[in-house]
Amino acid sequence: MDARLVDFDPFDDGMQTEGDVGAQSEAPQEDFAASVRRQFEPHGALARATDGFVTREGQVAFAQAVARTIESRGTLVIEAGTGTGKTFAYMTPALMSGCKVIVSTAGKSLQDQLFNKDVPAVKRVLGSCADVAILKGRNNYLCQHRLEMMAQGGTFKTREEVEQHRRIRIFAQQTRTGDITEMHGVPETSPVWHYVTSTKENCLGKECEYASECWVNRARARARAADVVVVNHHLFLSAVADMTEGMPEDARLLPKADVVVFDEAHKLPEIASSFFGNELSTWQLRQLLREMKLSLLTKYRTYRQDDLQNRIRQAAVESARPIEEVAKEAQFAVPLKGWDELINDINHRVDEVILQAGLSGLVEGEDKNVVELKDADKLGACVERLGGACRTLVEPLELIVELDEEVANQTENLKAFALSFATWASWLADVQKAEKEGADKVRWLSCRRDELRFSETPLQVADNFRKLRESQAQSAWIFTSATIATGGENFAHFLSQLGLEGAETHLWASPFDYRSQSMIYVPRNMPESVQGGRRSYITALMRECWPVIDLLAGRTFILCTSNEAVQLATEVLQDLIDANDRDYTILAQGSDSRKHLIDAFREQANTILIATMSFWEGIDIKGDKLSLVVIDKLPFAPQNDPVLKARCRWIESQGKDPFETYQVPLATIALKQGAGRLIRSEYDRGILIVGDKRILPGAKRYSRGMLESLPPFVRTQTLGRVLDFWRYPDRPS
């Protein structure tokens, strides 16, 4: 066993050095798991450093299981109910081990919470000197080069975008990290963010004049040197996939870890599915063209004749040909059209592709498998012409790529688009053949706001994820979430998705007294389903919820399963607020960044937050600020989702029931996440309203299992009982 695992004592100043270990080799050494357990005892380090600390056996058992897994370099999967204290349970043994640790989360909100609050708290309790860093994807950091480029020659579509850019420039002068989540006043959906952040494709790297000051470079250097790095799942997958044997440490995105912890592990299969797939969008192409136009028309409105002449002379010398002959060929390479016309040609081809997609049966807001398209071969021909237009622009760009690093990067990106469009054109030319050749994948198109997205998604990621883990075979792997198991302690769904054969599994329930702290209410007057129309369904739900919302004076999360439901709920609820002359504030998703909406909810009184699936998890609001959670429908994936349909067919081909083995577990985990926003401490009280009557026992064959997966709330279908539960907290429910 690694000596570092047994030499930590929170009563000392910190970790002993390897030299100290030898001097004490004859002293009895405490078992690592037992040493970890000692920190959680009534007089241990946590109790001495934390007011009101209570030893929770679930948390202690969790921490010991992690300790054993670190020792054995094994694989551990744990569901720990809300309030178990997951962060302390896995971070305590991780810090005590002295190992290199990577903690990965699904979303930026928990990532920020871990780095800014939770991990520092564990360090302080243990007296640990571990260096902790946070690392996000590069598009989460401002790019100084692109900021300056937009300031010099950028064009914006609206005055609002101009004002947003001005605010971002002020923020850039004040921030130390460049992390855009620190920025207030610019919605995360603003198109301006695209022009002030970079991607792997448009980053200039070492050639950038701001390379030494780059916030991305600084964050990555900090991460490589740190003992503990907090990342997100997609970044972790990308970093490990890019690692090669013998890669220099300074070339790695992340350090090679001894311990990898996936918090919010229930999201990992979905994120891995996206990571191991491929995506191509006309929106990305249009953004590239806009950037190219800015670069080319600013610096190369016409070819710089002196540069062109120098290249002609050089080519003549190298080829030992007459300069006039080379010059004549070069003149043919110079486009007869200007840069803006060439770029406009590509944009026209994009419009042609989108129009043909509509004629092929793809409507706005829809996702469709390519095999379901009408005249897919005609769409393929349009895509081929689009790729050809990209290649037409690439040819003259080759003359200047050596003169300009930025144009060189853009040209490489345009080549990649041309190649991808050629591939998609061949698939669309014969979709049946393409489907047979890629039976383990689904190829599908989606249309949003006059933009088209081409996606290729694997139907299972277990094999890919297994290979990725094998590349880090010496690491201990810990997967944890409040929602992994389905139907009791059944981990089969999660384990099969990631190929975690032989993993050790545990489930520790929440320590909260849900029967006295909470109630679930399913209004008996709700329509059976949304078949009568989503507007009438949401209207009915908001009216059923209004007496409870009004009793609580806001303090409500309304969690919806679609963006349309968010908009409808906002409209109906605002009408109820106005009609009853109440001073309640509605915070709707999309009006500001996720972080600032949550901060505003915490800080303001009489507030109602209405949001969709990205707010169902990773939000921790304790106390009386949040007392009511409303869930509009059971969160089944949309039945017209092409990935879902293809995956169900694939599961069926394996001889299994796709609804029972895939769709129900998926919806159950999502429902548990949404319900988990309600009770966040042993002092909270709250009400959960579920508008969907399919959750009632006997309504569907899956109803009871789904209901039983939730915490043991008191259950009712009577409004009066809900109101009494809140008004008379000491009265038995």
- Find all residues with CB under 8 Å of 709, minimum gap 6, and list them: 486, 487, 668, 671, 672
Cβ pair 522, 690 in contact under 8 A: yes
Comparing 496 with 200, the larger pLDDT belongs to 496
203 versus 415: which is more confidently predicted? 415
Q: What is the pLDDT of residue 276?
A: 92
* DSSP label at residue 637: P
Residue 413 has pLDDT above 60, yes or no: yes
Residues facing residue 690 across a β-bridge: 631
**What are the beta bridge partners of residue 79?**
481, 507
- For residue 477, what is the enclosing H or E element? strand 476-481
pLDDT of residue 52: 66
pLDDT of 526: 93
pTM: 0.81
Work out the pLDDT band at 2, boundaries 50, 70, 90: very low
Task: State the amino acid at position 692 in one-letter form.
Answer: D
602 vs 407, more confident? 602
Q: What is the pLDDT of residues 691-715, one digit of tens each?
A: 999 999 989 999 988 998 899 999 9
Given a contact cutoff of 8 angstroms between Cβ atoms, the answer to whether 648 and 663 are in contact is: yes
Token pair, residue 594, equals 């996720």
> Which pLDDT does position 291 carry in this prediction?
83
* Mean pLDDT in residue range 16-35: 54
How far is CA 661 from its chain centroid? 24
Q: What is the CATH number of domain 56-131+226-276+461-511?
A: 3.40.50.300
514-727: which CATH topology?
A: Rossmann fold (3.40.50)
pLDDT of 358 reads 93
**Nearest-angstrom CA–CA distance, 662 and 486:** 11
* pLDDT of res. 159: 87
Mean pLDDT of 374-380: 94
pLDDT one-digit tens code per residue, 227-253: 999 999 999 998 888 766 556 666 678
- The token pair at 376 is 């897919």
Which of the four pLDDT bands, split at 50, 70 and 90, describes residue 301? Answer: low
Q: How far is Cα 368 from Cα 477, in angstroms, rounded to an integer? A: 37
Over residues 587-607, the pLDDT tens digits come to 999 888 787 899 899 999 999
Q: Which CA distances in Å does 70 have to 4, 130, 170, 491? A: 11, 17, 45, 21
Q: What crossing angle do the helices spanning 86-97 and 57-72 adopt, rounded to 10°? A: 40
Name the DSSP letter for residue 179.
B
pLDDT at residue 543 greater than cutoff 70 = yes
Reference 293, options 255, 330, 246, 343; nearest CA is 343
Where does the pLDDT of residue 64 fall: very low under 50, low under 70, confident under 90, or very high at 90 and above?
A: very high
CA atoms within 13 A on the CB side of 715: 13
Cβ atoms of 494 and 484 closer than 8 Å: yes
Q: Which residue has the tokens 């569901």?
A: 79
| Per-residue pLDDT at 299 | 62
Nearest CA among 443, 451, 446 for reference residue 427: 443
Helix H, strand E, coil C: the string for 435-456 is: HHHCCCEEEEEEEECCEEEEEE
Question: Residue 9 — very low, low, confident or very high, per pLDDT cuts 50/70/90?
Answer: very low
- CA–CA distance, 298 with 319 (Å, rounded to integer): 33
Sheet bearing 628-631, strands edge to edge: 585-588, 607-611, 556-559, 628-631, 686-690, 518-521, 714-716
Order of strands, sheet of 228-232, starting from the edge strand that comes earlier in the sequence = 132-134, 228-232, 101-105, 259-262, 476-481, 75-80, 504-508
Question: What's the whole-number mean pLDDT along residues 485-510?
Answer: 90
Residue 448 reports pLDDT greater than 60: yes
Q: Where in the chain is the domain with CATH 3.40.50.300?
A: 56-131+226-276+461-511, 514-727
For residue 660, the SS3 value is helix
Question: Angle between the 376-397 and 339-359 helix axes, to the nearest 10 degrees?
Answer: 170
Residues paired with 476 in a beta bridge: 259
User: Residue 504 in 3-state DSSP?
Assistant: strand
Q: How does residue 334 score in pLDDT terms, banded at 50, 70 and 90? A: very low
pLDDT band at residue 400 under the 50/70/90 scheme? confident
From 597, 642, 287, select the one nearest 457 (Cα to Cα).
642
For residues 386 and 200, which has the higher predicted lDDT (pLDDT)?
386
Alpha-helical segments (H) within 114-228: 119-126, 144-153, 159-174, 192-196, 215-225
| Region of poorest pLDDT, from 146-155, 353-362, 404-413, 585-594 | 146-155
pLDDT at 464 over 60: yes
Q: At what angle do helices 282-299 and 405-429 cross, to 10 degrees?
A: 150
DSSP state of 689: E
Q: Measured between alpha carbons, how far apart are the two ends of the chain, in Å?
A: 53
pLDDT of residue 156 exceeding 50, the answer is: yes
pLDDT tens-digit profile of 273-292? Answer: 999 999 999 999 998 998 88
Q: What are phi and psi of 228, to 5 degrees?
A: -130, 130
Determine which of 357-371, 388-402, 671-685 has the lowest per-residue pLDDT on average. Answer: 388-402
Per the prediction, the chain carries an average pLDDT of 86
Query: Are the C-beta atoms of residues 514 and 712 closer than 8 Å to each other?
Result: yes
- Of the candidates 386, 538, 362, the residue with the CA atom closest to the CA atom of residue 447: 362
CB-CB neighbours of 727 under 10 Å: 9
pLDDT of residue 109: 77
Mean of pLDDT values over 166-173 = 90
Of 79, 113, 59, 62, nearest to 669 (Cα)? 79
Q: Exposed e or buried b for every residue in 267-303, given b needs 16+ CB within 10 A?
A: bbbebbbbbbbeebbbbbbbbbbbbbbbbbeeebeeb
Helices (H), 175-264: 192-196, 215-225, 233-242
CA separation (Å) from 60 to 33, 84, 547? 10, 9, 42
- The string of pLDDT tens digits covering residues 73-103 is 999 999 998 888 899 999 999 999 999 999 9
> Which residues are CB-contacts of 383 (< 8 A; sequence separation ≥ 6)?
353, 421, 424, 425, 428
Q: What is the pLDDT of residues 603-662, one digit of tens each?
A: 999 999 999 988 988 788 989 999 999 999 999 988 888 999 999 988 888 899 999 989
370 pLDDT tier (thresholds 50, 70, 90): very high
Query: Would you state the pLDDT for residue 330?
Result: 55
Residue predicted with more confidence, 105 or 306: 105
